[in-house]
C-alpha cells in the first residue's frame, strides 16, 4: 500500500525535543510529497478523533519549545480491544496510511498491539527523559533533563555548603537510574542511590559515618533515583536522620521541572535526525521498529525487542562517585 498521509502523535511522559521531532517529520514529509496530520493526546486522541492538520506553517519555530504541541496522555481505553478498534476507525476516517509514534516503552507496546491486530504501518522514535530504551544510546529529552537536574544540584550545593547541610536530591527515572547516575557525576555528588545497585545504601551509611565529624561544617549531596528500592528521598532521609541525628538533613525533590524547559541543542538535533529517518522508513514500507542512535549511527530496533529488553544504567560508572 502506498503511503500518502502520515499521522504523528506523542504519548506517555513529555520530553524536551519532542517538538523537534514533530517539526522534522513534517518538513521531511513535505519534501517527500506526503501529507501530515497530528493526533493530539496520544492514543487517547486517536480513540476520540482528536486529529488536526500539520503543515509547515503549523510547526514553524516549535523546535525551540519544550513539551509537545500535540499534547500527550496515557490511555487506559487503548489497552482494550474496543479502544483500539475506535482508534482504527479514526485512521480510516482521516485516510491515515501510517503512524509516527514518539514516546517510550508504553508507547511502543501500544503500537505493537495495534499492529498485531490491524494492518497499519507504525515506526517510532524514543522520547523519554529516562534514557532507558533498548536500541539507542540516547533518548530524546534525556540531555535536557540531565542539564536541568545538574543546574538544580549546583544551586543546592551552594546553599548546602553555606549551612553545612546534608541534602538528598531526588531525580526522575522510575525503574531506571540513568538520569540519577549522570546527574551525580555531572554535579560531583558525594553519594548516589539507584535501583540497579543493591549495595548503594550500605555504602551511603559507611560514607556518612566517615563524614560524621564534618557534619554541619561541610555539605554532603546525595542524588537519589525516584525508583530506588529503599524508597524515595523522603523515606531514605528519614532513615538517615534516625541513625545520624548530627546531620542537618534536607530533601529536595526536583519533580516535573526536569521535563520542562527549552530543549538542548543535542536534543533538538537528535529529535530532528530520528524523525526524518522515521518518515523515510515509512516510505520504504518499514514498520514495527524504533529508530535510535548507537555509536553515532542511526539504527532500527523492532518494537518487540525494545519492549522485551531492559536497558539499565551503566553502574560501572558509579566508581566515579565512590
Which residues are the active-site residues? 130
Cell of 58: 503549523
User: Are 42 and 103 within 8 A, CB to CB?
Assistant: yes
CA dihedral 83, 85, 90, 91 (to 10 degrees): 130
Helix, strand or coil for residue 181?
A: helix
User: How far is residue 183's CA from residue 236's CA, in Å, rounded to a whole number?
Assistant: 19
Query: Which residue has 480510516 as its cell numbers?
Result: 92
CB atoms within 10 A of CB 265: 10
- Is residue 110 helix, strand or coil? helix
Alpha carbons within 13 A on the beta-carbon side of 65: 13
Phi, psi (5° rounding) for residue 222?
-120, 120
Say how far residue 90 (Cα) sits from the centre of its chain. 27
Measure the CA–CA gap between 21 and 101, rounded to whole angstroms: 10
The Cα–Cα gap between 36 and 182 comes to: 37
- 57: phi > 0 → left, psi -120 to 50 → alpha, else beta; which? alpha
Which of 125, 107, 266, 130 has the alpha carbon at shortest distance from 194? Answer: 130
Amino acid at each position: 500500500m502506498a503511503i500518502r498521509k502520515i499521522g504523528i502523535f506523542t504519548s506517555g511522559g513529555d520530553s524536551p525535543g519532542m517538538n523537534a521531532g514533530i517539526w522534522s517529520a513534517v518538513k521531511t514529509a513535505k519534501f517527500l510529497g506526503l501529507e501530515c496530520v497530528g493526533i493530539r493526546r496520544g492514543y487517547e486522541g486517536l480513540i476520540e478523533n482528536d486529529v488536526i492538520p500539520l503543515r509547515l506553517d503549523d510547526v514553524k519555530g516549535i523546535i525551540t519549545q519544550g513539551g509537545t504541541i500535540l499534547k500527550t496522555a496515557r490511555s487506559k481505553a487503548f489497552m482494550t480491544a474496543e479502544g483500539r478498534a475506535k482508534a482504527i476507525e479514526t485512521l480510516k476516517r482521516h485516510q491515515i496510511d501510517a503512524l509516527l509514534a514518539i514516546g517510550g516503552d508504553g508507547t511502543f507496546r501500544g503500537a505493537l498491539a495495534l499492529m498485531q491486530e490491524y494492518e497499519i504501518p507504525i515506526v517510532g522514535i524514543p522520547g523519554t527523559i529516562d534514557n532507558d530504551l533498548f536500541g539507542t544510546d540516547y533518548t530524546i529529552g534525556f540531555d535536557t533533563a540531565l542539564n536541568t537536574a545538574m543546574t538544580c544540584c549546583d544551586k543546592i550545593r551552594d546553599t548546602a555548603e553555606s549551612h553545612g547541610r546534608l541534602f538528598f536530591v531526588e531525580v526522575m527515572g522510575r525503574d531506571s537510574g540513568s538520569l540519577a547516575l549522570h546527574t551525580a557525576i555531572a554535579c560531583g555528588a558525594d553519594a548516589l542511590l539507584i535501583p540497579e545497585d543493591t549495595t548503594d545504601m550500605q555504602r551511603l551509611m559507611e560514607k556518612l559515618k566517615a563524614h560524621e565529624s564534618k557534619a554541619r561544617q561541610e555539605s554532603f549531596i546525595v542524588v537519589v533515583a525516584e525508583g530506588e528500592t529503599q524508597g524515595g528521598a523522603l523515606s531514605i532521609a528519614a532513615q538517615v536522620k534516625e541513625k545520624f541525628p548530627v546531620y542537618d538533613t534536607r530533601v529536595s525533590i526536583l519533580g516535573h521541572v526536569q521535563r520542562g524547559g527549552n530543549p538542548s541543542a543535542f536534543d533538538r538535533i537528535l529529535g530532528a535526525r530520528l524523525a526524518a529517518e522515521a518518515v523515510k522508513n515509512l516510505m520504504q514500507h518499514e514498520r514495527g521498529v524504533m529508530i535510535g542512535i548507537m555509536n553515532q549511527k542511526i539504527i532500527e530496533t523492532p518494537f518487540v525487542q525494545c519492549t522485551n529488553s531492559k536497558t539499565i544504567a551503566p553502574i560501572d560508572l558509579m566508581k566515579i562517585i565512590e
